[in-house]
Amino acid sequence: MNITSVPLIDLARTHAPLEADLKAAFERVLHANSYIMGPEVTRFESACAEYLGVKHALGVSSGSDALLLALMVLEIGPGDEVICPSYTFFATAGAIWRLGAKPVFVDCDPLSYNLNLSQVEAKITPQTKALIPVHLFGQTAPLGPLRELAQRHKLPLIEDAAQAIGAAWQDHKAGTVGEFGCFSFFPSKNLGGFGDGGLLTSQDDTLAEKARILRTHGSKPKYYHHYVGGNFRLDALQAALLQVKLPHTDTYAQKRQAKAARYTQLLNEAGRPEQITLPAPVSADFKHVFNQYILRLQNAEQRDSLMAYLNEQKIGNAIYYPVPLHLQACFADLGYSEGDLPVSELAAKTTLALPIFPEMSDEEQDYVIEALLCWGARQ
């Protein structure tokens, strides 16, 4: 087949072989006459808890709400500070801000793009109430050292594992080490639903129970409120459909890893353009599930030029993320300025995500590689 375009991700191809099972799940919910929470959600939660090897898994309305709920359980609010990376999706810091607390941004590592652990300690103050590392692009932050750091300062750890279901550090899966793990089932995540959805995990009975109560407006029993919570529930339909996909999570991850390895191998063999740096090799401590495959260019002009070329060739690409959070207009009051977190700022200007999804064909990948080489030859 002659390839003339490659999408960034193609969910239709993921779902096609599951169509009969997805329809059966839909019909089961249709006929169960119960659409929010209920047995479908409970079953899905048990399956997630088993897959992750975690004591408690709560289906919630989104990854963003999982983060918000975790912070609410910890009673984080005005006057409190929460440490998180600047180079991440907005929701990580948005949840902190919405509770009236202050996000304290830390720069990222230039190779993994994850939180730079060595810079965390200097940002801890008596007001610091939690740490939220993000397992960016499908690779966990180093969970052992993070746990140790959090324990030394008696700070709860909330893992933003939205992009990293199935990822691991040594034998610890993402979302199982901290007080909380927060997952997203946004369609483009490694385990994507058919709309919004998320999961909050915890190994702690007391924290999980409070999260359960806050998930439904803080009521227990129904209509009796000791806390003010919210509506953070997962739909039965999402749970039923996600249950069809959950057993494939590791296969999807393996296929993504194989695509990533193939990009790296073929680009190196073909004489990768010197302007393009490939993702850093993954050390044996990490299981990287490649939610994204990220290139680094030498400067912003090159990145924008490559982006324009890929667009011309109809090759999907994306910038994750063009503005680091410490420079977002809504956080201007926090007083950060350009130059404060230089590694994040440079990453925002020079990185580009390539197409990667489990069903991407070798021919499609060859077309992307060819385009990168052609672009390089023109420089």
Q: Which residues bind ligand PLP (CB under 6 A)?
A: 62-64, 88-89, 91-92, 134, 160, 162-163, 184, 186, 196, 198
**Closest chain position to ligand PLP (CB):** 63
> What is the number of H-type helices and E-type strands within the chain?
12, 12
Q: Please state, in angstroms and rounded to a whole number, the distance separating the CA atoms of residues 303 and 296.
A: 8
Pick between residue 272 and residue 288 the one whose CB is nearest to ligand PLP: 288
Cβ-based nearer residue to ligand PLP, 92 or 302 = 92
Q: How far is the CB of 356 from ligand PLP (least distance, A)?
A: 15
CB of 183 to ligand PLP, least distance (A): 8
Say if residues 76 and 52 touch (Cβ distance below 8 Å). Answer: no
List the structure tokens of 279: 């993702």
Q: Write down the least CB distance from residue 298 to ligand PLP, Å.
A: 26
Shortest gap between Cβ of 162 and ligand PLP (angstroms)? 3
Closer CB to ligand PLP, residue 65 or residue 80?
65
We find the least distance from the C-beta atom of residue 141 to ligand PLP, in angstroms, to be 11
Q: What's the rounded Cα separation, in Å, for the pair 341 and 358?
A: 34
Shortest Cβ 94–ligand PLP spacing (Å): 9
Tell me how far apart the alpha carbons of residues 377 and 300 are, in angstroms, rounded to a whole number: 18
* Per-residue exposure over 240-262, b if at least 16 CB sit within 10 Å of its own CB, e if not: bbbbbbbeebeebbebbbebbee
Residue 181 or 316 with smaller CB distance to ligand PLP: 181
Closest CA to 315 of 278, 367, 263, 362: 367
Shortest Å distance, C-beta 302 to ligand PLP:
26
Strand partners, 127: none
Residue pair 254/218 in contact by the 8 Å Cβ criterion: no
Nearer to ligand PLP, 64 or 202 (CB): 64
Nearest to 42 by CA among 242, 239, 241, 208: 239
Among the residues of 275-321, which ranges form H helices? 300-312
Pick between residue 64 and residue 176 the one whose CB is nearest to ligand PLP.
64
Choice between 266 and 356, CB closer to ligand PLP: 356
Nearest CA to 106 out of 91, 95, 116 is that of: 116
User: Pick from 173, 139, 172, 187: which is nearest to 291 by CA?
Assistant: 139
Helix (H, G, I), strand (E, B) or coil at 366: helix
Q: How far apart are the first and last CA of the chain?
A: 29
User: What are the CA-CA distances from residue 156 to residues 80, 116, 201 (Å)?
Assistant: 13, 18, 14
CA atoms within 13 A on the CB side of 229: 27
Q: Report in angstroms how near the CB of residue 126 gets to ligand PLP at its nearest.
A: 27
> Whose Cβ is closer to ligand PLP: residue 89's or residue 367's?
89
Which residues, 6 or more positions from 199, have their beta carbon under 8 angstroms from its beta carbon?
Answer: 45, 48, 57, 58, 59, 60, 66, 175, 181, 182, 183, 185
The least CB distance from residue 326 to ligand PLP, in Å, is: 16
Closer to ligand PLP by Cβ: residue 229 or 273: 229
